């Protein structure tokens, strides 16, 4: 049996260009049905034992190295599965977008097309006998685009494109805005509007947390890790190793080291790490306690690398401890508050809710406790560096007193 995601890749190159009413609108309708059924269940793909080989096949079917050549020039012919997954999902969504624009006569012909035949005039209003199924397909495609952009899992994966492929993301956002501003079909939909079509945090070429907000920031360009560097270790490891393996979370190590290179730890690091952790959790398909554990281990490894600093006269141990005790803690807090904030909003919208006075307790809070319990298995990482042993012991003593009920 052919894996469903490979089927989607194959169909996208054949069915979408032939969706014209006089060709195969029914096939396009079936493709959209399959897309809706499988594209939002990526965990089954990531956890498949054939994940690396399957993504390699999809990579070649869609010619991803040609579509995104500037991100593959230094990558071998067999790309990392995680990179291929991100670009595969992005390609499917962008293809739907260009097809929908073309269906309404809004697609600029000079733009690079993703398996959309530029020679066909598919404008619904120009057809002698407008086909109901063709218009329905376009409406369905627009709704699916919005779902991809709002869905927790797929939006996190797309945020990696936003962060690492700014050129392609900028073109994608331009076309999203074109559709939102001019689509008559979008305006006719009952449960979707141009204003709610795509989230505000996806409208920029840059992550919102990295946007410059003063003149000093304009003088500095924040270093960005390439998508292949960010996901290589995680993607390749996730297919063959357990979810407890710390190599799944190596991209976090890279971000922490990147932040350490600055003269000060920017507040943007917290939001950047928060987004990265959510994306990695989605791509790796792990439970949240393993995700939190991976974050703690990455921060602890940062501290341990400074046990015997070998470079420069400026000690970095204090900054490393700040990353562990402050930045990492704030990232965890963001993740928990995000979930519980959504639960509160959901409860407020529910007309049957009778327990609004009860504080919302999300699953991530309990998963955090589990991760801290599992952290006890990593004694080597938990041993503090020699210069801070006294302070660490003092902090441990205060923690014991607090837990035992003696706050003095």
Residues 249 and 197 grouped into a single domain: no
Q: How many structural domains are present in the chain?
A: 2
Residues 245 and 377 grouped into a single domain: yes
pLDDT value at residue 69: 72
Spatial separation of the C-alpha atoms in residues 280 and 160, rounded to whole Å: 10
Whether residue 404 lies inside any domain: the answer is no
Whether residue 122 lies inside any domain: the answer is yes
Residues 121 and 257 grouped into a single domain: no
pTM: 0.59
Whether residue 210 lies inside any domain: the answer is no
Whether residue 402 lies inside any domain: the answer is no
Residues 62 and 170 grouped into a single domain: yes
Q: Structural domain of residue 150, as residue ranges?
A: 4-202
pLDDT value at residue 362: 83
Last residue of a domain, one of 150, 182, 202: 202
Whether residue 134 lies inside any domain: the answer is yes
Q: Which residues have C-beta within 8 Å of that of residue 357, sequence separation ≥ 6?
A: none
Whether residue 401 lies inside any domain: the answer is no
Residues 376 and 296 grouped into a single domain: yes
Residues 19 and 102 grouped into a single domain: yes
* Segment 232-244, tens digit of pLDDT: 444 444 444 444 5
Residues 263 and 198 grouped into a single domain: no
Q: Which residues have C-beta within 8 Å of that of residue 152, sequence separation ≥ 6?
A: 282
Spatial separation of the C-alpha atoms in residues 319 and 302, rounded to whole Å: 10
Nearest to 292 by CA among 363, 376, 371: 371
- Series of mean pLDDT values for 10-residue runs along the chain (408 residues): 89 89 84 93 81 90 83 58 88 94 83 57 49 88 94 83 84 92 93 84 48 40 45 45 59 79 66 87 86 90 70 63 85 92 82 60 89 86 79 75 66
* Segment 117-140, tens digit of pLDDT: 555 554 544 444 446 888 999 999
Residues 127 and 245 grouped into a single domain: no
The three-class DSSP label of residue 229 is helix
Give the orientation angle of helix 328-349 with respect to helix 268-284, to 10 degrees: 70
Distance of alpha carbon 169 from the chain centroid: 13
Cα four-point dihedral sign 29, 30, 31, 37? positive
Whether residue 380 lies inside any domain: the answer is yes
Question: How does the average pLDDT of the chain come out, rounded?
Answer: 77
pLDDT value at residue 232: 46
Whether residue 315 lies inside any domain: the answer is yes
Q: What is the 8-class DSSP label of residue 23?
A: S
pLDDT value at residue 214: 42
Residues 154 and 247 grouped into a single domain: no
CA distances from 136 to 130, 188, 247, 343 (A): 11, 11, 45, 34
Residues 101 and 248 grouped into a single domain: no
Terminal-to-terminal C-alpha distance of the chain? 66
The three-class DSSP label of residue 400 is helix
Residues 46 and 148 grouped into a single domain: yes
Residues 291 and 195 grouped into a single domain: no
């Amino acid at each position: 049996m052919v894996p469903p995601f490979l089927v989607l890749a194959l169909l996208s190159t054949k069915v979408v260009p032939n969706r014209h009413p006089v060709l195969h609108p029914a096939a396009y309708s079936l493709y959209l049905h399959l897309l809706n059924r499988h594209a939002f269940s990526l965990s089954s793909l990531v956890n498949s034992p054939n994940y690396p080989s399957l993504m390699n096949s999809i990579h070649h079917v869609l010619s991803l190295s040609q579509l995104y050549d500037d991100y593959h020039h230094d990558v071998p012919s067999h790309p990392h599965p995680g990179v291929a997954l991100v670009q595969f999902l992005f390609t499917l969504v962008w293809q739907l977008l260009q097809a929908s624009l073309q269906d309404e006569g809004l697609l600029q012909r000079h733009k690079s097309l993703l398996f959309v035949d530029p020679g066909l005039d598919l404008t619904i209003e120009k057809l002698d006998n407008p086909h109901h199924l063709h218009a329905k397909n376009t409406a369905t495609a627009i709704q699916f685009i919005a779902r991809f952009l709002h869905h927790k899992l797929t939006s996190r994966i797309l945020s990696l494109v936003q962060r690492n492929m700014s050129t392609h993301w900028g073109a994608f956002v331009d076309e999203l805005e074109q559709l939102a501003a001019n689509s008559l079909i979008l305006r006719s939909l009952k449960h979707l509007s141009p204003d709610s079509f795509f989230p505000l945090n996806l409208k920029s070429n840059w992550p919102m947390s990295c946007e410059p907000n003063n003149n000093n920031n304009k003088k500095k360009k924040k270093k960005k890790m390439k998508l292949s560097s960010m996901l290589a270790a995680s993607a390749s490891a996730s297919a063959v190793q357990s979810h407890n393996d710390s190599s799944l979370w190596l991209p976090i190590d890279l971000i922490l080291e990147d932040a350490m290179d600055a003269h000060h730890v920017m507040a943007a690091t917290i939001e950047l790490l928060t987004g990265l952790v959510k994306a990695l959790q989605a791509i790796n398909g792990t439970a949240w306690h393993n995700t939190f554990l991976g974050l703690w281990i990455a921060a602890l490894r940062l501290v341990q690398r400074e046990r015997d600093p070998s470079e420069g006269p400026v000690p970095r141990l204090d900054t490393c401890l700040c990353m562990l005790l402050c930045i990492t803690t704030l990232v965890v807090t963001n993740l928990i508050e995000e979930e519980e904030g959504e639960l509160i909003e959901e409860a407020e919208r529910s007309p049957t809710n009778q327990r609004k006075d009860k504080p919302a307790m999300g699953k991530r809070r309990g998963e955090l406790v589990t991760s801290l319990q599992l952290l006890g298995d990593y004694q080597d990482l938990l041993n503090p560096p020699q210069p801070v042993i006294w302070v660490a012991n003092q902090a441990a003593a205060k923690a014991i007193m607090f837990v035992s009920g003696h706050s003095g």
